[in-house]
Structure formats: C-alpha cells, structure tokens
A and B are shown apart, each in its own frame.
Chain A
C-alpha cells in the first residue's frame, strides 16, 4: 500500500503503524454524567462499515504525524489523507 502523506507525498505503508478507527479521536468528556457508558463505547465499540472507513495511521518511520486515512476497505483505495490535527479542528 502507498499512503499519500499530506506533507511528504506518497510513502510506503511499511513506514506507518496502524491504530484503528478514527473515532478514537473523539474522546468523551470525563465530567459527563454518563461518562462511564460513553468511555465504554469509546473504548470498545466500533462501527464496521462497508466501503469507506476513516482510520488512524502513525508515520513512525517518518515525520511522526498521526494521519486520518479515509480508505475503501473493500478495494483498499485511499480516498483522502489528512493530518489528525487538521481533522480535529474540523471536528470528527
């Protein structure tokens, strides 16, 4: 696989470490009344979508950016690659 890094251009997937669903960026507030339930869902429950999937990749053998890669998990086609920070600002 090749991931088109927003700053560094196309890089081989072997430079990256995969973490998982990008919803991990959406960490609940600890002060919420039902924080326990929310953290339980955040930590353990994942959607299993067909086709498009937003996922977290870490450019460990590179510039150490965390990236949000939108990938078609059926064809492995990569649709967009964004810096996690930029993605955070937009809202998950």
Chain B
C-alpha cells in the first residue's frame, strides 16, 4: 500500500520496489517518455502540433502526448500573453487550450487534457499574434501595472465616442482565445433520453464501488465518467485495492459491470448539470476522430431521469499563489503523478515539489521510484509527520519567486535560497467537486479537517460518496460508495448483495490552511486562465467589491471556460484574508450548470437548418407546386403566396391578376391553415356564449355566425366563424396564427371556468382540407362538382348558410357560405386526404369560368379592400371598441372579457377606431407602420393620433389603400391627415375613409 509512513526514512513502498526503475530516454523524439510503464506497448499514433508532426500512443491524451514530446509552452495567457504550459491532467485545465481540426472542423479552446489522442489529430496553440514563441501581444505583460482588475471599466470610458469606433474593435481583436472557422459545423449531434434507478456520476473508486453494489443488487444503474478510461485517480496512483493495483481493480470492476445487463457504462460522458426532480444532463463524446465519422452523431446530449443519484465526482487539486507561479513547467503536483503513472511521461528531469499537505509528498515518492530526480520538497508547514532522507526537505518554507520565461529554471525560497529545476509540482490541497450538489441551490459547507468545502444539504434523492463528500482517503472512499449504494438499494425496496466493500488502507492526508505566499513581491496568479492575480483581488476588495459574487464579476476570477476549477476556492480564501473574514463567512459563488462546457451544437442536436422546426404543408401543396406557386412561411405552415404565370416578372403583376380575376369571375384559395375546432355536447351552445362576446344559442342549425373572442382583460383575442351543423354540434374556425392559443384557451374555459357544462372539444385543423371559392361565378363552379341531390341556390342556401354535403360522387364535404373577400363566396371542406385532388377538381371544373388560384397576398388585398380585420389589427392591443365591433358585445349574458372591457379608459370617445385611408395623391404608395399626425402639427409623440396597420395596392380601385387606427376615427371620415413614417422618411397626406372600400352594403355577398 502506498501509505506514507510517518517518520520513516524510506518511503519506497513494497509494491513499487518490484518495478524496474525507469530512465528518461529518447523514444521517437518523445524525450520525456519513461522507458517503462503503462501504454508504452500500445499502438503508435501520429498527430500534429503547430504543423510539427509528432508521435504518441493509443491511450494518450493530447496533453500527455505533448508533454512526452517536450512541448512545454502550449499557449499564451488571456490578458498578459505570458507563455503557458500544461497545468493539470483533467477537465480543470486552465492553460492548455488549443484549437483542433481545420477549416470547417476547427474547434477553439479545447482542453488538451481532455482530448483522447487519435491518428491525424491536428492541433494548434492560440492567443498569440505571431508565433507561439514570439507573441507580439506579450507587450501586455510589460503593461501589467495598467491592466489590473477593472481596467476595462476604468480605461475605456473616455471619450465616450471612442468606444464603438476604437476601443471595442481593438478589445475584440485582442480578446477571446481561439478562433471560430465561421463555417457551418459539418458534424452531427444527437439527443437522447435515459431512465435508471440510480445514476452514479464518476467512475473512480467510490463510483465503481457504488456501481458494483447497486449492480449486484439488480438495480438499473448508469455509471458515467467524463474520462475515456474508468478508474479516476486510481489510474494516476499506485494504491492497492483488494490486493491488486488500483488501476487493475478498476479494470476488473468495469469488466464485472459490463457483464451485468442492468448496468449501462458510459465513458466520455460528462454529467454537466443536475436539475429538478432527479434529472441530469450528460454530454457523451461518441467519436474523437469525428472527421472520419461524418453522418454519425459525434456527441450526444443525454437527459437522464433518475430515481436516485450518487455523486462520486472526486476532487480537484488546487494551487498555491506565489510570485510568478504561472510559468511553463509549473503544474499541479497530482497531475505530475498522473503523467508519470498513467502515461509514463515525466515533464521534467529536476523536479521541485511545493506543498502544504501530505499529498505533495506522494508525488515526490512516485517520481523517486521512477528514478526521476527530486530536487527538493518545500512544505509550508512547520510540523510534518513525514520525512525522506534522500530528498532535501524545506519545512516551514515557501516559494516567493520563480524564473525562466519559456520553462521554469529556478525557484527562490522564502529563505533566499535559489534552487535550479525544470519542473515544479504544486499542491495546495484538494477541493471536493461539489458542483452537482449545488445546482439546486445547495450551499456547500466548510469542512475544517480538510480545509475545503464539502456538499451541504442535497435533494433527498441525491447522495454523495468518496472524495466528493470530503472523504479524501481511499479506504473510507471505497466504503462510502458501497454504503451509499446500499442506502439506495434499501430505499427502492431491493435487497443488498452479500458482498463487502472493496478494501484499501487509508493513506495519510494531513493538510493545512495555506493559500498564498504573502511575502512574494511578484505577481501571484490565482486564476491562470483569466490572468487574475492576488493583487487584482486586493484591488477589487479595496474598491468596494466585498461580496465574492462581485469579486468574480469585477476581476473575472473563475469566469473562463474552466469555470475556476483550480482557482475559485483559492481566490475566495485570498479574499477572506484581505477582508479579515473566515472562508465560510466569505462563501462561494453559486455553482451553476454546466460543469463542463457543452457545445451549442449538442444543445441544438438535429434541430438545425430546415430541421429547426417542423414544416406543415397544406393539403394542396403538391398541386400548388405544380402551379409554380411562391410559398411563404405562416408560423409553421408553408402557404402559397401567389401563383406567378409565365412572363410575370413582379409579384404585384401576379397578385393584381389574382384579385381582378377573382372579383370578375372566380378564384380558389387553400384556407386549411385556419384553426378548426369541433365543439359537441348538450351545452355546446351555452359554452360558445361564454367564450364569444356575441350569442350563439339562438343560431339556427345550418347557419354560420361571425364570433368575436376577448381575453379576460377585454382585449380582442381572436375572431372567426362558427357553424352550427346540429343542435349540439358546432365547428369553430380561428385565425391561422391563433389556432393553438385559442384551443388552449377554450380548454381552459371548459375545464377550469365552466367544468359543469357538457361540452367536448377537439382540434380538427388537420383533418379537414378547406378551400375558399370566391367570386361571382363561385356558385356555378361548385354546382359542377357537388352531388346532384344538394341544392345550393341562393334561395335554399343563402348567405351564412352551412351544410353537410357530398361532392364528386359521395365524398363527404362541408359547405359554408361565408366570404372573406367580400364576393359571393363559399368555403368547402373535405377530409384532408382529398385536399390535393379537391383543389385540382375545382381548378379543372373552373376552367370554363377562367378560374384563378390565389395565394395569401391576394387574400390579404381583398380583405383590406373589404375592410376585414386580420392579424395586424387583432394584435392583442385592440378592443372590440377599437375595431368598431362594440355592438357585438352582448349585454344579456356574461362572456370572457365582459367586465374588464367596460373599463372607462377603453370606452372614451378619444379611443382609436379602425377606419380606411387613401392617399390624396393616388400615385403615392402607403406604408404600414406610419403614424397619423393632424395637418399642420409637428411630428412628435405627443401629436401621434394612431397608426396604419395594413396597406395594399387595390387593383379594384387602382391606388394604394390602407386600414389603420386613428383617434375618434369614425367621426372624422373625409378629414385629411399626414401619415408619417420618420424611419423610412415618408410623409403622405391621406384621407380618412370608411374601411369598406368595396361594396359597403355587402350586396355581392348575398347575390
């Protein structure tokens, strides 16, 4: 066992003494690769870094392969452009952010520590102007006295006009790390849903121990880890579990789990968030070399529904702040151990360890066992129960400065002594990864014994085990995984297995509270990724940013892609010291999802481009395509906008023709998109009385009535016609835009306001294809296709009639004599499957009348000519009074909106009224959105009297016309006002007219 034996001369352990000592030597230029150890027998893999061809092994991460090739500088820092090297071995990495892939595959800000090496991987360093070795922006490093916390706010304030033209573009060029390709991402992303009894987050010792017990008890288990190799820290250590080396134990455990059909093992799956009611978000990386896997999902975003979750997310080592602690070659001490033990790479030949706890000593010991020279252990503590006679030990000592621009070359101790080295391992203790336990606003609590925050109260179905729970020693870690799994098993009513928890000894884990070296005169980094130093924290505090949340936002501490995994706790400890408060009193910032960055592509999944939303096609879509229709999106619907004929070059030509031909003879338009709601029940009529302002109970069977629907606040919600086919059967139509909302509203009224009425609703929008057949020849056309037994003469089927008929030999149909165009018109509905042929039949039958297919534009022109309100007028801000429909509000009954529509403010004489407008100079085109100002008055908000809501060119009148709202409009017919549109710089004199430009008495409808 790898336990550090107190006060013993020799800390070499028995299991390790068996290993052959390894030497650093040249190995395919992987000069930092050890001669023996793990992964060295694996397949060799070629990859590129800054166009240089390098080699690594299968099982390497990009960072281990770069270190093996002695790539010590891998990037430049965010603000000061200081050379930076690999700092960690996991998702906490603040420095080694690279661009990978080329062209459309280019991906910026990828952590080298989390990329599994693959053949042909191309990577580049980022954030430098010029080469990585000579970065022109490194000038910032010399300007650092001017670039401290808040410098943006202080520096770029004056003169104000400089911001947009100069400061912002310059900052944007300099800021950000990697660059985007600017091209669409060719990769495929997917989404999926999973359900389980227990989700185990993390595949380290605690997670595996929990999964084994839960799996053996036959629970439905998911175990996920963001690494591609399960085992967590066990792969980086030489611990013994159940008499085998830890990494072997984890391999065997995974084997056992993979033989259980009730267990799903998910490597490379980062659980990025914990949400309400046991839902977790996970991002699975399916393919590292995704370029070869085009078409298959590269990443999958999982939504995981769990009954219980055991959080075994482990812990992250933190740094210590001291002078120039950001140089390449300075790494977390545990990370060095990972590189040596898991990847057989040592980042240096002369290593110094700076620690405040026992764990740093373990790195020294592991490296020594591999014959790597440990120059010294520098421990900030006075009293240490450890010793090693072969290594110079500096107790009660700290590092105050370092030197070496491209790689650390020496450290200066608080004693003044200078030690030469090429690698420095720093250990400031371990922080439990409490993130997922805090996503429901759980607050972590300070645990003095380990000088770190541990999870506080968690949701009842969330348990925490292992180092995430603050159990830093392996023996108790394994035991806690087992115990928490048993708790879950019992809660779910299952039986625990008879197995005992895996056994391991508890290693020594003494630690201390030591955060930064106050004696350092030099800049001491807290947050490496965002270049935040202890001085920045001090300045923030002195400038009044006392709360840790304010500190974060002012100094940008912990706001980078690493989300401050190595820096947050250190930063608040430093803040606590400046403020004289304790660390628990200072508190942490709120942990929010995602724990690891999630690409937007993964959130979008397959919903990209045309798949972003579904497309609804009208039943006659195919035939409309045959007629070369131009289509327009109306919500999700794709509707024919107009039908250009050969030779027509402008849309107005087509639309004018469609209008003229319809008014002269007959036109056909697909109006299926209007909402259709089937309403049945003994109280159906009473129900309609409740939801419409006007009455429906007295409507005769076989008749249609226009209905107006208000919201409870008195504003118009929607309008449409409702037909009574039977005493207890109505069919309501809604506007296309409001079909969903009206149905929801009606169900609310039915279930929540009038649940005692016997009425049932169903949406039938998609079940019936409906066509408007409009124009003086519409009856003649219809008579050709409806079955002979039905009489639709004016006498037997007058205006506002409806009936169930059959067409084309017994095809069921519904016929309504209603008109939106103002002409003699009908709407005919057939079951959707007949829709396309119905349209064709109407067009064929109409050829003798020179029938025309018309689209939404002609529909709009005709309704404006007729003065019908539509979406532009029913915009949620207008009342029945505004629309001139106040007479439709029944006084004899209640209806939704009844009382609040009576509010005096909505009924003043000065309210705006819907009227028509025509230009005084008929040549001029009106613009919707123009506002009305009385003649001779200044154009200003105070003089604004209303607005133009809809305009069209009227082919019938041969000039532009408009509908709009103007104060007291109905009493101002004949008056001339200005329609002003300052945005488009137009000002047109218009005459207020009746909104009914055509056939004001409605004679055509009744012919």
Contact = CB atoms under 8 A, between A and B. Distances in A.
Contacts of B279: 1-2
Contacts of A43: 712-713, 900
Contact of B712 (A25, A39, A78, A89): A39
Contact of B752 (A31, A36, A39, A56): A56
Contact of B899 (A35, A64, A84): A35
B278 A39 contact: no
A32 to B, nearest CB: 9
Nearest to B305: A2
B753 interface: yes
Contacts of A2: 276-279, 305
Contacts of B747: 58, 64, 66
Give the interface size class of chain A: 20 to 34
A53 B747 CA distance: 22
B899 A58 contact: no
B278, B305, B752 interface centre (most CB from chain A within 10 Å): B752
B972 interface: no
B448 interface: no
A89 B755 CA distance: 9
Give the interface size class of chain B: 20 to 34
Contacts of B894: 30-31
A25 B748 CA distance: 9
Contact of B748 (A19, A28, A35, A76): A19
B899 A39 contact: yes
B752 A84 contact: yes
Contacts of A28: 899
Interface string A77-90: 01000011100110
Contacts of A24: 752
B581 interface: no
A51 to B, nearest CB: 14
Contacts of A85: 751, 755
Nearest to B275: A1
A39 B275 CA distance: 38
Interface in A4-20: 12, 17, 19
B276 A40 contact: no
Nearest to A87: B752
Contacts of B744: 17, 58, 60
Given A58-B744, A58-B748, A76-B277, A36 B755 contact: no
Nearest to A19: B748
Interface in B750-767: 751-753, 755
Contacts of A48: none
Contacts of A31: 894
B903 A36 contact: yes
B898 interface: yes
Given A24-B752, A85-B751, A76 B440 contact: yes
A25 to B, nearest CB: 5
A42 B865 CA distance: 40
Nearest to B895: A30
A11 to B, nearest CB: 11
Given A30-B894, A39-B899, A78 B277 contact: yes
B902 interface: yes
B160 to A, nearest CB: 40
Given A1-B279, A60-B744, A75-B440, A36 B899 contact: yes
Given A1-B275, A36-B899, A58-B744, 12 more contacts: A1-B277, A25-B752, A25-B753, A30-B894, A30-B898, A30-B899, A35-B899, A39-B900, A83-B751, A84-B755, A85-B755, A88-B752
14 contacts: A2-B276, A2-B277, A2-B305, A25-B752, A25-B753, A27-B753, A30-B899, A36-B900, A39-B899, A56-B748, A64-B747, A76-B276, A84-B752, A88-B752
Interface of A: 1-2, 12, 17, 19, 24-25, 27-28, 30-31, 35-36, 39-40, 42-43, 56, 58, 60, 64-66, 75-76, 78, 83-85, 88-89
State the 5 A-B residue pairs at the shortest beta-carbon distance, nearest first: A30-B894, A39-B899, A2-B277, A66-B751, A85-B755
